[in-house]
Each structure stands twice: as C-alpha cells, then as structure tokens.
Amino acid sequence: MAYKAELFVALQRVLPKQALSRLVAKAAESTLPWLKNALIKRAIKAFNINMDEALTSNLDDYKNFNAFFTRELKSGVRPIDIAADSIASPADGAISQAGNINKNKILQAKGIDYTAERLLGNDEDAKRYYEGNFATIYLSPRDYHRVHIPLAGKLLRTRYIPGALFSVNDITAQALPGLFTRNERLVCEFESEDTGTFAVIFVGAILVAGIETVWSGFEAPGPGAVRDTDFSDQALNFLKGDEIGRFKFGSTVILLFQNQVANWEDSIHANAVVQMGQKLGSVNKAQ
C-alpha cells in the first residue's frame, strides 16, 4: 500500500497539474449539448451520483458540466442542525482528520502534520488558532459541491494563496507531507459574536476547475503572489448553513476554531461520512 501511495504521488509530481486542470476546466465550461451531456452521464455512472437529491435531473437544465457538478439540491434534503450552539458541517464528504491543534501543528494523517502558519500564509493570523480545534473534510467527485458556513458570522477577510494542485484524497494525504499547504487555497476568516474568529479554508486539487465564493465569484489564479482582501467594512453577514462558495470538482474544506471553542461529536473521526448541515460539534460561547 505504501509503495502504491508513493508511486501515485510521484506520478502527480511529473504531471502538468495546472495545465491539465485548466484544460479540464475548458471542457467543463463547454455548452455544446453533446459534450456536456456526455460528461454528465459519464460522471453520474462513474461516481454513482444520486440524482434523486438534485433540484433537477433533466440534463438539459444544466448549461455545462460545471453547472451540473455544482448542482443545487432539493429543499430539505440537507437540513441544517438548529441547535443554537451547534457547528454544522460545511459540506458533504468524509472526515479526513479532526481534533485539537497541538500549539500550531495540525494533523494531516498518521505521523504527518503541518503548521497553521503554512496553511494560513500568515504568522500573526495563525497565532489566533494555537491550541484550537480543526476539522478537515474531503469532498469526493460524487458529493454535493456547495460549501456552507458552519456558524453564523460576518466575513472579515480572505487570502488567496496560489500553489500546486495535488490530489487531496486519502492516499495522497498519507504520502505527501504538507499536502494542504502545497495546494492552491482560499482562506476565509469570519467573526462570530459567540466564538470570536473562525476560518473556513477552500483547498484546491488536481482537476479542480476553480473555487468560487458568493461575494467575489471565481477566484482567478494570480501571477503567483498571495492576494489579501479586506471585507471588514462590508456587511457580509451569513446565517448558519448559508452558502458561501463552491468547488468545481472534488476537494477539501478545513475548519479552524480558536482555543476552547469547539467540541467535536464522538462520531467525528477519520473516515466518518458527513453531510452538509449535520452537527459536527458544539461551541463554547466566548465570555
């Protein structure tokens, strides 16, 4: 198994991941009926996608493959946990890891961790999450690909960090140190009246055609520089469970909470399957 994982990572190292992902993005944006319908049918079959949950199962209603991949679900199929102190899952997927942040170290896989500084791209921001809590959720291609806010909060700032586009599946996580700090990502920091600041981080991956947010649209890759945007003077307030963004292929969402804020449910552990809106844990309100 270890040999296969190393081989899989080695193959990814030599692949032109950025170019391949952008090529896939072009095909996924095509509005040619025969092409986009063929791609949709192939995805439904290959990934066993449950179209009974989709708002529409009529392929003609999707203008391109990306519209299908980020499809809206029927009302009520992802109820949001209503408890005032609950943390709702931001996405469908599987828990990669969840637990405590050991000073500044976040667990990626058994024997592998990375630092909050590397993940967030800023040393001062990272200090807010020392000894805090984290949860990493992997979205497979079959999952619902819209991302929702786990708690009510106001958007303060975002940081787009360019990077590689390695696969973020379990095999790669166990074989490539610093995976989530190597890949392209968007750090979104919110403020909650009850818990202080918390972060929702979109991590890109191979074949991900883009990260989008409801406030800025597509986060276009820049010339290589980190891009900080301050939203603190805007009234971008969200209720728990509101949509905040979406991925155009499988990827990862990471949640960070400050020290003594989050308490995860016993069921939230590595490989646990979760659905958007379900209770991941509860919060201790700030004094």
Q: How do the domains of the chain map onto residue ranges?
A: 2-69, 86-283
How high is the pLDDT of residue 23?
Answer: 54
Q: What is the rounded CA–CA span in Å between residue 263 and residue 277?
A: 16
Rounded to an integer, the average pLDDT of 9-31 is 55
At residue 16, the pLDDT reads 37
- Give catalytic status of residue 148 as yes or no: yes
From 21, 143, 148, 167, active-site residue = 148
Three-state secondary structure of 85-129: CEEECCCCEEEEEEEECECCEEEEECCEEEEHHHHHCCHHHHHCC
Task: Look at residue 89 in the predicted model and tell me its pLDDT.
Answer: 98
Strand, helix or coil at 161? Answer: strand
More confident residue, 27 or 136: 136
Query: Could you confirm whether 192 is annotated as catalytic?
Result: no
Structure confidence at residue 8 as a pLDDT band (50, 70, 90): very low
pLDDT of residue 281: 97
Using 50, 70 and 90 to split pLDDT, how confident is the model at 248?
Answer: confident
Per-residue pLDDT, averaged over 4-20, amounts to: 42
Q: If you count them, how many residues does the chain have?
A: 287
Instruction: Please say if the pLDDT value at position 141 is more than 80.
Output: yes
Summarize the confidence of residues 254-278 as an average pLDDT. Answer: 96
Residue 20 reports pLDDT greater than 70: no
Q: Which of 81, 92, 125, 143 is catalytic?
A: 92
Compare 184 and 77 and report the one with higher pLDDT: 77
What pLDDT digit, counting tens, does each position of 107-124 carry? 998 788 999 999 999 999
Q: Give, as one character, the DSSP assignment of residue 59.
A: G
Report whether pLDDT(87) > 90: yes
Residue-level pLDDT at 165: 66
**30 a catalytic residue:** no
Q: Which residue has the tokens 């063929």?
A: 38
Beta strands in 101-204 (DSSP E): 105-109, 112-115, 133-139, 146-148, 153-161, 185-192, 196-203
Q: Is the model's pLDDT at 5 over the cut of 60?
A: no
With 60 as the cut, is the pLDDT of residue 13 above it? Answer: no
* pLDDT tens, residue by residue, 157-213: 999 998 776 666 677 677 677 777 888 899 999 999 888 999 999 998 765 557 899
pLDDT digits (tens, 9 = 90+) for 226-245: 899 999 999 999 999 999 99
- Cα 236 from Cα 214, distance rounded (Å): 10
Does residue 79 have a pLDDT over 60? yes
Q: Write down the pLDDT at residue 54.
A: 97
* pLDDT, greater one: 207 or 15: 207
